[in-house]
Amino acid sequence: MLVMSTRERSPLPGAVYGGDRAEKQSLYHLVVSIPPDKARKIGEIQWPRGPRGDARTDFVTVEASDMNPADVDRWFLRVAGKKRKLLIFVHGYNNTFATSAYRLAQITHDSRAEAAPVLFTWPSRGHVLDYVYDKESATYSRDALEYLLTRAAANPNVSDITVMAHSMGNWTMVEALRQLSIRRGRLPSKIKNIIMASPDLDVEVFRSQLVQMAEPRPRITIFLSQDDQALALSRHLGGDIDRVGAIDPEREPYRSKLKEFNIVVINLTKLKGGDSFHHSKFAESPEIIRLVGKRLIEGQEIDGRDLTLGERISGATAGAGASIGRSVGHMVAGRPASAPR
């Protein structure tokens, strides 16, 4: 994967980036080895159990080096394949560089996405109690992400771009897209997909951001869950305002406003989460992560007929038989005067 970072380099031996903010963004190159499929479950990250790890059972970094900007095109042409697609991933709050890099490696491998993976990693401290610092760092990094998106869209070798963010990373992503739309009058046509996983975004702020993105907008897909405990805490810290990643899409005003903005919602509430916070379901379910790679990144439409808990992913749910299709809708575009609140 290619890495663009606004993190300061770490002084610790063996570490690449820490949690402090750098004055300028930097480029880095990683090659991550993932254990054979028979040795792991889709959605899991097997952390090295020793200083070097065992490639037979662990995720292992086998190559790590600075990258010269002049080498980026050669890297992309080697990695992207014939379709020349790009997947840019923005991690969330409480993530170290290592956790964000291994998460992107897991998403890329498990989704079988035919796209060159780029990690945009911002200065999260990787500590639960540093929520406010992380939020400021996410804002600090929006200009660098806008620059990355601008350069990627201008590259003639790139056919289309999917931007995917998790949790607080959605704040950085949507802010960068809003700025880019305002600056250019609209978003570059190569940005085809915006995937928002468990977005830690105030619904009223998200409404304002969407209004400022000129039409036509890229396809927006939101993965949400009403049992997301991390977003429940964020709501408490944010003045008891709903977070986008935990709304009930069947309840008004959300239902009608999602239609107005042509937003597809995938409600994962019935899925059993792999962590106690139920905050990373999008990357842990085999059906969901493959939906990302084989349908969304490929540019296919999805609707309520694509997924039902009972028929497709019953083994991973807390309540088999309940339909996920009620909250998976290809919505009809409407006026840009309002958005989810």
Cis amide linkage into residue 188, ω under 30° from 0? no
Within-domain flag for 114: yes
pLDDT (tens digit, 9 = 90+) per residue, 151-193? 999 999 999 999 999 999 999 999 999 999 999 999 999 999 9
CB-based contact 251:265 (threshold 8 Å): no
139: alpha, beta or left? (left if phi > 0; alpha if psi -120 to 50): alpha
Average pLDDT of the chain to the nearest whole number: 85
Tell me the C-alpha distance between 314 and 316, whole Å.
5
Tell me the C-alpha distance between 55 and 49, whole Å.
11
Q: What are the Cα distances from residue 223, in Å, to 64, 103, 203, 227, 288?
A: 32, 17, 14, 12, 9
Confidence band (pLDDT; 50, 70, 90) for 296?
confident
> What ranges in the chain are assigned the alpha helix state H?
72-79, 97-111, 131-140, 142-154, 169-184, 203-211, 229-237, 254-260, 281-284, 286-291
Asked which of 22-31, 52-61, 301-310 is least confident by mean pLDDT, the reply is 301-310
Within-domain flag for 288: yes
> For residue 183, what pLDDT is reported?
96
Please determine, for residue 312, whether its predicted confidence score (pLDDT) is greater than 50.
no
Percent of the chain with pLDDT over 70: 87
SS (H, E, C) 227-281: CCHHHHHHHHHCCCCCEHHHCCCCCCCHHHHHHHECEEEEECCCECCCCCCCCCH
Within-domain flag for 37: no
- Read off the CATH number of the domain in which 123 is found: 3.40.50.1820
Name the pTM for this structure. 0.87
Within-domain flag for 61: no
CB-based contact 306:246 (threshold 8 Å): no
> For residue 234, what pLDDT is reported?
83
pLDDT (tens digit, 9 = 90+) per residue, 84-95? 999 999 999 999
Within-domain flag for 202: yes
Residues with Cβ within 8 Å of residue 311, at least 6 apart in sequence? none
Within-domain flag for 149: yes
Token pair listed for 243: 């977070």
CB-based contact 7:22 (threshold 8 Å): yes
Please report how many Cα atoms fall inside a 13 Å half-sphere around the Cα of residue 226, on the Cβ side. 9
CB-based contact 126:99 (threshold 8 Å): yes
CB-based contact 86:151 (threshold 8 Å): no
Q: How many separate domains does the chain show?
A: 1
| CB-CB neighbours of 106 under 10 Å | 22
- Nearest Cα residue to 303 out of 254, 258, 266: 266
Please determine, for residue 318, whether its predicted confidence score (pLDDT) is greater than 80.
no
Please determine, for residue 252, whether its predicted confidence score (pLDDT) is greater than 80.
yes
Exposed (0-12), middle (13-18) or buried (19+): which is 12, by Cβ within 10 Å?
A: exposed
Strands 2-9 and 17-33: antiparallel
CB-based contact 249:255 (threshold 8 Å): yes
> For residue 278, what pLDDT is reported?
80
Domain residue limits at 224: 2-30+66-300
> For residue 326, what pLDDT is reported?
34
Within-domain flag for 41: no
- What is the mean pLDDT of the segment spanning 194-200? 95
Instruction: Please report where in the chains the tokens 């379910």 appear, as a residue.
Output: 285
> For residue 302, what pLDDT is reported?
64
Tell me the C-alpha distance between 222 and 50, whole Å.
37
Within-domain flag for 48: no
